[in-house]
Chain A
Amino acid sequence: DQQVKQNSPSLSVQEGRISILNCDYTNSMFDYFLWYKKYPAEGPTFLISISSIKDKNEDGRFTVFLNKSAKHLSLHIVPSQPGDSAVYFCASGAGNMLTFGGGTRLMVKP
C-alpha cells in the first residue's frame, strides 16, 4: 500500500509554459514534504521543500503547494525549460523516515 502516490507517470509540456506535477499522500502523520529531481544515471537532487505549517513555498521558478485537508501537494515550474526534463519524485516524511512517490517523468519540448 503506497503511502505516497504520483498518479501521472509522465507529463509533456511546451517550453515556456507551466508544468504542474501532483502528489497525493495517505498518512496524516506526515509533517514535511520535499521534491527531488533525477536525471538518468545520477542520484536525485533536492529541489524544494515545505513543512506542514505552510501551504506554499517558492524558490525561483519552482513553487510547491500543500493542501493538508486533501492530502495533496503539487510542484509548479514556471516557465518550463528543456533542462527541466527529468524524473521528479515527491517525498513525505515523519520523524526520521522519508517515503517517496513513484516519480513523474517530465518532458519539456523546445
Chain B
Amino acid sequence: NAGVTQTPKFQVLKTGQSMTLQCAQDMNHEYMSWYRQDPGMGLRLIHYSVGAGITDQGEVPNGYNVSRSTTEDFPLRLLSAAPSQTSVYFCASTRGRAYNEQFFGPGTRLTVL
C-alpha cells in the first residue's frame, strides 16, 4: 500500500494563479480531509469528505474548493491564490470518521508570491 500520496511536494505560485493539489489513498477509506499548517497555529481543517460525492466545509474553507468523485481521490483547488495561502498542506484519510486514526500524506509546501 502506498498509503496517502500528495503531489506536488513543492509549488510556487503568483498571486491570482489557480492550481490543484492532488491527494490519493489506496486504503479504501471513507473519510478524507485537507488541513493547512501554519507556524504556531497547528493544523486547521479546510474541507472534508465522508464519502464519494459528499464534501463539507471545515474551519478555514474560504478560497478553496474540493470534490470527491471517487473514494480514492480528493483534490484541493485554489481558485485565485493569495499570499495568505502560503502554507504546508496535508491530506489525510481514515476508515469511518474523524475520531479514528487518520493517516496523513507527506504534505505540499506552497508559496504564493
Hey, which bits of chain A sit against chain B, CB under 8 A?
A: 4, 6, 9, 32, 34, 41-46, 49, 51, 89, 91, 93, 95-103
**Is there contact, CB below 8 Å, between B59 and A97?**
yes
Q: Please provide the chain B residues from 41 to 56 with a CB less than 8 Å away from any CB of chain A in the complex.
A: 41-45, 48, 50, 56
Chain B window 72-83, contacts with chain A (Cβ cutoff 8 Å), 1 for yes, 0 for no: 000000000000
A-B contact count (CB 8 A): 61
Which 4 A-B residue pairings sit nearest by Cβ, starting from the closest?
Answer: A43-B104, A100-B42, A32-B99, A46-B101
| Main DSSP-derived SS at the B contact region | strand
Choose among A49, A97, A103 the residue that contacts B101 (Cβ–Cβ < 8 A). A49
Question: Chain B interface: which size bin?
Answer: 20 to 34
Q: Which of A9, A46, A51, A103 contacts B102 (CB 8 A)?
A: A46
Q: In the complex, which residues of chain A have a beta carbon less than 8 angstroms from the beta carbon of B90? A: 43-44
